[in-house]
Amino acid sequence: MIEEISITDLGVIGDATLELGPGFTVVTGETGAGKTMIVTALGLLLGARADAGTVRRGASTAVVEGRWHVPDHDAVVERVEDAGGAVEDGELILTRTVSAEGRSRATVGGRGAPVAVLGELADQLVTVHGQSDQIRLTSAAAQRAALDGFGGPRLQKAFDAYVTAYDTWQQHTGELETLTRDRDDRVAEAERIRAASDEIEAADPQPGEDVELAERAERLGNLEELRLSAGLAHEALSSEALEGAPDVVGLVESARRAIERVASSDTALQPVLEQLTELSIQATEASASLSSYLGSLEPDAGHDLELINERRALLAGLTRKYGDTVDDVIAYGQRAGERLLELDGDDDRILGLQQAVERDEQALAAAAATLSAARTKAAGDLAKRVTAELGSLAMAGATLVVEVTDAGEYRRHGRDQVAILLQPHSGTDPRPIGKGASGGELSRVMLAIEVVMAGSTSVPTFVFDEVDAGVGGAAAIEIGRRLAQLAERTQVIVVTHLAQVAAFANNHLNVVKDASGAVTSSSVRRLDGEERLQEMARLLSGLGDSASGIEHARELLEVAGQSV
């Protein structure tokens, strides 16, 4: 609900504040006073295109600020927060600034935001019916949604059941199409994977085998050098080639025995004796280790190296195809097996999906038929009730037609195509609403539709700009009565020239024009008591101080049930 709109330097309005609130607010004023600027201002707050020509002459910018009350956890609050703004204590502030050069800027909840965000919020905040505005039900999708909302719980239940059936059908159909379309590719993929799996299985690589083989190849490739060096080291430690030749073991043992003979004479030699003893043991052990190493060297190393290099070449071929290391190749082989199980099961899956799609289509056809029947019934009820309303709104010969036809294909909203048409007079063909009526008639048609659908709409505010164009007398009173009826459920704001309509409002705002300066300016004030009577008298007779006009205004207020 809109609580307040502030306007600065927009058109003829220099500075004005509209205090709105719940119920039925009517805006009146002399011709040229700027009543339509109020609708223009609201349009700017709802994302309408900015026009530099609307900036007041001599001003650099026009500013419009709106203050809304929105429920907590509302979709509007969520969208505002997504845009970086905030709603505090249920209060949402929207601002739109338009410069004289045509630049436009918007703020949502205290934060700058693209103008498109205002447009997104508009559908949830306000519905505007004006002489030149696009009507809310101009699109087929909007008309279908309106009919579904009017249809109530029974239609909603049918719609939910259809959507469930449709989503299931779409899922299975999509999977089947993918499997069928890609069957050749999947067969080729299976062949490639099977060949790779067979190649890896035949090679039977072991974890870490490539590293182990590289180490063995390095060892065998340097076998002679290893044998020569180990032999020289062994001879140096413990010579077996020449009897009596000096070696490390013999020399250390000679030194040990020499010290051992005299160690008892001087305790300072005891540590030296221990060191020589340990050194003798280590030299003997090192000699034995070298002897064992020399004995372990393969006698036919060349043949072994050839076999190892062949194995390494085989593994290298695998790593070029399936991974950087042998471990990667092994992992690839495991994944290939799992993928083969999936691909080899395609035929069974396709058969199962074909059967599922057949079942889905039967369920979808039944759900679509139920939904169409519910919509057709709701369409008849809506057309009948709106047509009855039109008879009381000076459109007695007009008939609303709501067509529900088969679109020929399943869509997520059903097979139905919904069209709301207007037959202006008997004998004429129904035409889309918006083409079959004048501006004033169109507003009255929309008023009738909104009154009938008031219980099913979620939009909190309706704005009508000169909904009473071209009518008067009793018809105008009926328009006012229905606006008041609509205002029992939602906030209603109406710009009007008719006292018969204004009489039903619980909040009367008057746009006052001041032509005393070089530039005409207007402001807005709330009317009560005698001031309201005088304004309504002016609307009736053109004279605010006419005694008969004031009396007539008083009678209208009594008819409307409004106190003076």
Whether residues 221 and 320 share a domain: the answer is yes
Distance CA 362, CA 158 (A): 16
Whether residues 122 and 248 share a domain: the answer is no
Count of domains forming the chain? 3
The mean pLDDT of 398-427, rounded to a whole number, is 91
State yes or no: pLDDT of 367 exceeds 90: yes
In this structure, the number of other CB atoms found within 10 A of the CB of residue 187 comes to: 12
Residue 372 included in any domain? no
Distance CA 477, CA 502 (A): 9
Considering only 112-121, 371-380, 471-480, which range has the smallest mean pLDDT? Answer: 471-480
Whether residues 502 and 564 share a domain: the answer is no
Whether residues 58 and 112 share a domain: the answer is yes
pLDDT cut 90: percent of the chain above it: 22
The mean pLDDT of 14-18, rounded to a whole number, is 87
Distance CA 315, CA 364 (A): 56
Mean per-residue pLDDT over the chain, rounded: 83
Whether residues 473 and 546 share a domain: the answer is no
Q: Which residue has the higher pLDDT, 32 or 465?
A: 465
Which of 136, 150, 130, 138 lies closest to 383 in space, CA to CA? 150
Measured N-to-C along each axis, helices 346-391 and 326-344 cross at an angle, to the nearest 10 degrees, of: 60
- Please, which residues have CB within 8 angstroms of residue 450's CB and are 6 or more apart in sequence? 127, 129, 457, 462, 486
- Final residue of a structural domain among 324, 345, 376: 324
- pLDDT interval class at 134 (50, 70, 90): very low
Which of 200, 193, 201 lies closest to 341 in space, CA to CA? 193
Residue 470 included in any domain? yes
Distance CA 92, CA 79 (A): 12
Q: CATH number of the domain at 80, please.
A: 3.40.50.300
φ, ψ of residue 64 in degrees (nearest 5): -125, 130
Residue 346 included in any domain? no
Could you read off the pLDDT of 77-118 as tens digits, one per residue? 888 888 888 888 889 999 999 998 889 999 999 899 998 888
Distance CA 34, CA 11 (A): 7
Whether residues 492 and 540 share a domain: the answer is no
Long-range contacts of 413-417 (CB under 8 A, 24+ apart): 413/141, 413/144, 413/159, 414/159, 414/162, 414/368, 414/371, 414/372, 414/375, 415/368, 415/372, 416/144, 416/371, 416/372, 416/375, 417/140, 417/144
Residue 439 included in any domain? no
Q: Name the 3-class secondary structure at 278.
A: helix
Whether residues 512 and 558 share a domain: the answer is no
State yes or no: pLDDT of 163 exceeds 90: yes
458, exposed or middle or buried, with CB in 10 Å at 0-12, 13-18, 19+?
exposed
Q: Which residue has the higher pLDDT, 442 or 20?
A: 20
DSSP state of 56: P
φ, ψ of residue 133 in degrees (nearest 5): -85, 155
pLDDT cut 70: percent of the chain above it: 88
DSSP state of 516: S
Residue 263 included in any domain? yes
The H or E element that residue 206 is part of is: none
Residue 239 included in any domain? yes
Could you read off the pLDDT of 169-225 as tens digits, one per residue? 999 999 888 877 766 677 777 778 888 888 888 888 888 888 888 877 777 766 666
Q: What is the CA radius of gyration of the chain?
A: 47
Residue 306 included in any domain? yes
Q: For the chain, what is the largest distance between any 2 Cα atoms, rounded to a whole number of angstroms? A: 154
Distance CA 393, CA 390 (A): 5
Whether residues 32 and 101 share a domain: the answer is yes
State yes or no: pLDDT of 227 exceeds 90: no
211, two tokens = 């590293």
Residue 440 included in any domain? no
- Final residue of a structural domain among 270, 292, 324: 324
Whether residues 218 and 104 share a domain: the answer is no
Whether residues 103 and 223 share a domain: the answer is no
Could you read off the pLDDT of 42-83 as tens digits, one per residue? 889 988 888 888 888 888 999 999 999 988 767 888 888 888
Q: Are 150 and 382 in contact (CB under 8 A)?
A: yes
Whether residues 515 and 544 share a domain: the answer is no
Residue ranges making up the domain that contains 495: 1-138+457-527
Whether residues 107 and 228 share a domain: the answer is no
Could you read off the pLDDT of 511-529 as tens digits, one per residue? 887 766 555 677 888 998 8
Give the strands of the sheet with 431-432, arranged side by side.
399-411, 414-423, 431-432
| Identity at 419, one-letter amino acid code | A
In this structure, the number of other CB atoms found within 10 A of the CB of residue 452 comes to: 22
Please give the pLDDT value at position 346. 65
Considering only 61-65, 171-175, 239-243, 484-488, which range has the smallest mean pLDDT? Answer: 239-243
Which residues face 99 on adjacent strands? Answer: 61
174, exposed or middle or buried, with CB in 10 Å at 0-12, 13-18, 19+?
exposed
H helix runs in 392-502, sequence order = 439-452, 473-487, 499-502
DSSP string, 330-343: HHHHHHHHHHHHHH
- Final residue of a structural domain among 283, 309, 324: 324
State yes or no: pLDDT of 23 exceeds 80: yes
Please give the pLDDT value at position 343. 66
